[in-house]
């Protein structure tokens, strides 16, 4: 006989991550991508030697974060996330959220995301013959994010 010894939350956080909105974990998010940042690049050429040196323009640029989740028509678990997406798209509401990474159940780091706006939502494939969950991708530009312990 199989006996489950871990809760659903334990399975998510053993070696994975979770996303928290207002301190509440959103379990349906299955992947986070697009975490990148860079500064602009300027060049300066020395007039005497002709050597060109690169240096930063100190302007920080962050690419949009992508979140993937599945909507299961048989469950009403997406109400909270759908409320954020709807508020962002209808009223331009920007929110803060946190991505938390775990390793063997121990929190490794947190990534607070500031002033996120859910501006694009894509439904890659909807199959009328399927009654299972379908995938939704969110594009989330943000003002800033940082990795903290």
Largest CA distance in the chain: 80
116/51 Cα distance (integer angstroms): 41
Q: What's residue 112's pLDDT?
A: 95
Residue 100: other Cβ atoms inside 10 A:
17
Q: What's residue 110's pLDDT?
A: 94
142/137 Cα distance (integer angstroms): 16
Which residues of the chain fall short of a pLDDT of 50? 1-8
Residue 33: other Cβ atoms inside 10 A:
12
Kindly list the structural domains of the chain, giving each domain's residue range(s) and its CATH number in brackets, ordered by start.
8-145 (2.30.110.20)
Pairing verdict, β 24-26 and 37-45? unpaired
Q: What's residue 14's pLDDT?
A: 64
Q: What's residue 6's pLDDT?
A: 45
Name the pTM for this structure: 0.74
Bridge partners (DSSP) listed for residue 136: 69
Bridge partners (DSSP) listed for residue 41: 56
């Amino acid at each position: 006989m199989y006996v489950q010894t871990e809760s659903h939350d334990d399975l998510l956080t053993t070696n994975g991550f979770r996303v928290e909105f207002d301190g509440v974990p959103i379990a349906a998010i299955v992947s986070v991508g697009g975490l990148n940042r860079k500064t602009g690049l300027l060049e300066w050429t020395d007039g005497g030697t002709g050597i060109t040196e690169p240096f930063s323009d100190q302007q920080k640029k962050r690419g949009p974060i992508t979140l993937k989740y599945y909507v299961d028509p048989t469950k009403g678990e997406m109400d909270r996330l759908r409320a954020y997406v709807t508020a962002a798209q209808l009223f331009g509401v920007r929110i803060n959220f946190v991505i938390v990474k775990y390793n063997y159940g121990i929190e490794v780091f947190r990534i607070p995301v500031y002033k996120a706006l859910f501006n694009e939502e894509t439904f890659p494939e909807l199959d009328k013959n399927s009654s299972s969950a379908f995938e939704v991708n969110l594009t989330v530009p943000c003002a800033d994010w940082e990795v903290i312990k």
